[in-house]
Every structure is written in structure tokens, then in C-alpha cells.
Structure 1
Amino acid sequence: MIYRSLMFTPGTKKERLLKSVNSEADALLWDLEDAVHPDDKDGAQAVIKEALDELGDKPAKPIFLRVNQYDTEWYEEDVKLARHENVTGIMLPKTESSEQAAKTWEGMGSEGELIALIETAAGIIRLEDIFSNPNISGVAFGAIDYAVDVDLTLTEAGLEALYARSRIVTYAKAAGISGIYDTVFPDVHNEVSLQKRARSARALGFNGQMAVHPKQLEIIHEVYSPSREEIDWAVKVLLYAENEAKGQGVFMFDGKMVDRPVIEKARQIYNAAERYQLVIGG
């Protein structure tokens, strides 16, 4: 699956966890890691279990658990919690090897979705090994932890993390991983900068972003959804290729050359529009 937005909610707040199910987020990240103080880790597991039980039938909105880092004392119990019928999958923080992914997959019952969260220099240079695990369905970039690990300064332009972002997208695409998600934008009230950052990540090949607050969702969805103009263009190109230009390897449309890569781009846009219910049917 591909999600435009994955929204974090602290695992210690049951009311907020249950409320998040009615948010506009495409998917939810119920957090057992950074949003939970070490003294509250066991309590957060219990709170999330209660919230999952109270949901009753499997919710329409996917729920992921961001578990604690591999080799921590809480990791195994966190992963077991993902076997709950209302959990869609796991986000594994600081993923650094295919072995970590394999053991997480086994611990979660060998079903569901597994998102590798890349947050360290080791994770960046070991992407080929990490993505060799066939059970990884998505990847996310954690820029804040990455900045700490490599001692870089995060800026609004984001050029300092360009290498990491481009490497994640390239290796993920090569491995056939569809969901590629950018880091959270922590300044909740800075909507202008959020939009700039999201557009930059989208241009690099990311197709979604993690969020820390519901007010960020509208901008994230706008950026990671095809625009009306893009959808109209895609529909026209695909119809023209199927009808007037059928059988032609290359043709002119609206004064511009159209060949196979252009047609494939139009198909990508149309498929995204269908996925986010911006068009119905074909």
C-alpha cells in the first residue's frame, strides 16, 4: 500500500489513540518509541492493547505500531503486540540490516506490512542489504535522528539530507518497494515551510510523509496527490494514446512529443488519482 500521510500518536494517550481513527490521515502510527518515556514503556503497551481491543471490528484506517529499536528491552513485546487483529503492521526504527527486518517479520506473525525507518548512517549505507528482505513493504526517512547520528544541521531548504533522501528513493525503487515516506516536519504552525519541504520531497520521489499533528494533513495530502491539471493531462494523454495514436511508438500531443516514458508517467498519475479516489473508474 501507498499512504500520503502517516500520523503519529503517543502510545500513552488512549483517548487520542481512539480519536486518531477518525482523523483524515491515510494511516496511523501509534508510537511506542520516541514519544514514550522509558519509565512508561510497559504502560504504553497496555494502553495500546486496550485501545485496539476497544475498536472492536477491524478499523478501516490502517494502524501501524512504531515499536522500540531492535535489541532494546521492549522490542520483543512491542513486536508481539502487532499480532493484534486490528494492527496493520510495524514501523521499525533505526533499521540497519535485513536480519533485523527478518526477525521483526517473524515476531509479528509473518503477516502484515513492515515499514523500515531509516535514521542512521549505517542504515543509509546498508540499504541494499535491508531491502533484500522481501517482506519490507515501505520505507521512511527519519531526518531528526539521522541529523544527530551524522552531526549535521537541519535547515529549511533540506539540502544537507539530499544524499540520504535520494539514496533511499533509488534503492527502494530498485527493490520494488512502493511506499516511500519522508520525515516528520516538527514545526506544526509553519505551514508554508511544511509545504515547501513536502514539495521538495515529492520531487525527489517520495510519495507520502509522516505527520505529527492533524492540522498538517491537508497540506500533505495536497502535495502528495496529483493536481486536477495533472489528472486532466494524464486522462487526455492516455485516451489519445489508446485511440488516435494507437500503435504509434511516438506522437505529437498538444505540440509536445509523447513517447513510452511520457505515457507511463501519465499512467502513474492516473493510478494515483484512482488510489486517492480523485477519479472513479477508468
Structure 2
Amino acid sequence: MIYRSLMFTPGTKKERLLKSVSSEADALLWDLEDAVHMDDKEGARETIRQALDELGDGPAKPIFLRVNQYGTPWYADDVKLARHENVTGIMLPKAESAAQVAETWEGMGASGELIVLVETALGIIRLEDIFSGPNVTGVAFGAIDYAVDADLTLTEAGLEALYARSRIVTYAKAAGIPGIYDTVFPDVHNGESLRTRAASARALGFNGQMAIHPKQLPIMHEVYSPSRDEIDWAVKVLDYAENEAKGAGVFMFDGKMVDRPIIEKAKQIYSAGERYQLIIGG
């Protein structure tokens, strides 16, 4: 699956966890890692378990657990909790090897979705290894931890992390991983800058982003969805290719050359429009 937004909720308060299910987020990230103090790890796991039990027949949207880092005292029990019938999958933080991915996959019962969170220099250079197994369904970039690890200074423009972002997208596309998610944007009240950063990430090939507050969701959904103009263009190109220019390898449309790559781009836009229910009835 591909999600435009994955929203974090700390695993310490059951009421907030249950409330998040009614949010506009495409998917939820119930957090056992950074949002939980080390003294509260086991309590948070039990709180999440109770919340999952209260969902009854199933949640209204996908729920992922961001477990604690591989090798920590809490990791194994966090991963086992993902076997709960109401959990969609796991986000594995600070992923750095195929071995970590394989052990996580087995620990979660060898089923569900597995998103790796790459947020260290070692993780960035080991992407080929991390993606080498068949079970990774998504990858997310953790820019804040990466900046600490690589001693970078995060800026408004974001150029300091351009290499990491481009490498993530390139390796993920080569490995056939569908979901590619950008880092959280910590300034909750700065919607204009969030829009600029999301548009930049989308241009690089990211198709969604992690959120920390519901007010960020409308901007993310707008940026990571095709616009009405893009959908209209895609529909016209595909219709023209199928009918007026059927069998032609290249043709002119609205004064511009259209060949196979342009048609494939139109198909991508159309598919995204269908995925986000922006095209009704085909």
C-alpha cells in the first residue's frame, strides 16, 4: 500500500490512540519508541494492546507500530505485539541491515506490512542490503536522527539531506518498494513551510509523509495527491493514445510530443487518482 500520510500518536494514552482512528490520516503510527520514556516502555505496550482489543472487529484504517530499535530490551516484545489481528504492520526504526529486517519479519509472524525507517548514515549506505529481502513494503526517512548521526544542520531549504533523500528514492524504486515516505515536519503551526517541503519531497519521488498532528494532514493529502489539472491531462493523454493515436509510437498532443515515457507518467497519475478516490467511475 501507499499512504499519503502516516500520523504518529504516543503509545502512552489509550484515549488518544483510539481518537486517532477517526482522524483523516491515511494510516496511523502508534509509537513505542521516541515518544515513550524508557521507564514507560512496557506500560505503553500494554496500553496499545488494550486499545487494539477495544477496536473490536477491526480498525477503520491501517495501524502500524513503531517498535523500539533492534537490539534494545523492548524490541522483541514490541515486534510480537504486531501479531495482534488489528495491527497492519511495523515501522522498524534505525534500520541498517537485511538481517534486522528478516528477524523483524519472523517476529511479527511473517505477515503484514513492514516499513523500514532509515535514519543513520550506515542505513543510508546499506540501502541495497536493507531492501534485498522480499518483505519490505515501505521506507521512511528520519531526517532529524540522520542529522544528528551525520552532524548535519537542518535548514529550511533541506539541501543538506538531498543526497540521502535521492538515494532512498532511487534504491526503493529499484527494489520495487511502493511506499516512500518523507520525514516528519516538526513545526506544526507552519503550514506554508510544510507545503514547500512536501512539494520538494514529492518532486524527488516521495509519495507520502509522516505527520505529528492532524492539522498537517490536509496539506499532505493535497501535495501527495495528483491535482485536478494533472488528472484531466492524464485522462486526455490516455484517451488520445488509445483512440486517435492508437498504434503510434510517438504523436503530438496539444502541441507537445508524447511518447512512451509520457504515457507511462499519465498512467501513474491516473492510478494515483484512482487510489485516492479522485476518479470515480473510470
Please give the range of the TM-score, normalised by the shorter of the 2 chains. over 0.9
Are residue 40 (structure 1) and residue 40 (structure 2) matched? yes
**3-state SS in 2 of match to 1:61:** coil
The equivalent of 2:83 in structure 1 is 83
Amino acid at match of 1:15: E
Q: 1:260 is matched with which residue? A: 260
In structure 2, C-alpha distance between the alignment counterparts of 1:57 and 1:123, rounded to whole Å: 37
The answer (yes or no) to whether the contact 1:63–1:86 under 8 Å persists in 2 is yes
Task: Please state how far the C-alpha of 1:281 moved relative to its aligned partner.
Answer: 3.1
Quote the residue 1:218 is aligned against: 218
Aligned match of 1:240: 240
8 Å contact from structure 1 (residues 274, 281) kept in 2: no
DSSP-derived class of the 1:226 partner: coil
1:47 aligned partner, one-letter code? T
Deviations 1:256-280 (A, max 9, x none): 0000000000000000000000002
Which residue does the alignment assign to 1:231? Answer: 231
Any conservation in 2 of the 1:64–1:91 contact (CA below 8 Å)?
A: yes
Cα distance in structure 1, aligned partners of 2:138 and 2:212:
19
Question: What is the distance in 2 between the residues matched to 1:163 and 1:13?
Answer: 37
The one-letter code sitting in structure 2 at the alignment partner of 1:241 is A
Secondary structure of the 2:106 match is: helix
What is the DSSP-based 3-state SS (H/G/I as helix, E as strand, rest coil) of the residue aligned with 2:114?
Answer: strand
Q: Deviations over 1:102-128 (max 9, x none)?
A: 000000000000000000000000000
Counterpart-to-counterpart distance in 2, 1:94 and 1:238: 41
TM-score by length of 1: 1.00
> Per-residue CA shift, 1:1-34, capped at 9, x if unaligned?
0000000000001100000000000000000000
Q: Which residue of 1 aligns with 2:21?
A: 21
Matched to 1:218, the amino acid is P
AA in 2 matched with 1:62: P
Deviation at 1:59, TM superposition (A): 1.3
User: Which segments of structure 1 move beyond 6 Å, counting only runs of 4 or more?
Assistant: none
CA RMSD of aligned residues (A): 0.4
In the other structure, the counterpart of 1:117 is 117
Residue of structure 1 in register with 2:269 after alignment: 269
How far apart are the structure 2 equivalents of 1:169 and 1:84? 31
CA offset digits 1:64-100 (Å, max 9, x no partner): 0000000000000000000000000000000000000
Report Cα offsets for 1:23-74 as digits up to 9, x if no partner: 0000000000000000000000000000000000111300000000000000
For residues 113 and 196 of structure 2, the distance between their equivalents in structure 1, rounded to whole angstroms, comes to: 29
- Length-normalised TM-score, structure 2: 1.00
For the Cα contact (< 8 Å) 2:22–2:60, is it kept in 1?
A: no
Structure-2 separation of matches of 1:22 and 1:180: 24
Counterparts of 1:126 and 1:43 in 2: how far apart (Å)? 34
Contact preservation (8 Å) 1:121, 1:150: yes
Which residue of structure 2 lines up, in the alignment, with residue 53 of structure 1? 53
Give percent identity, aligned residues only. Answer: 84
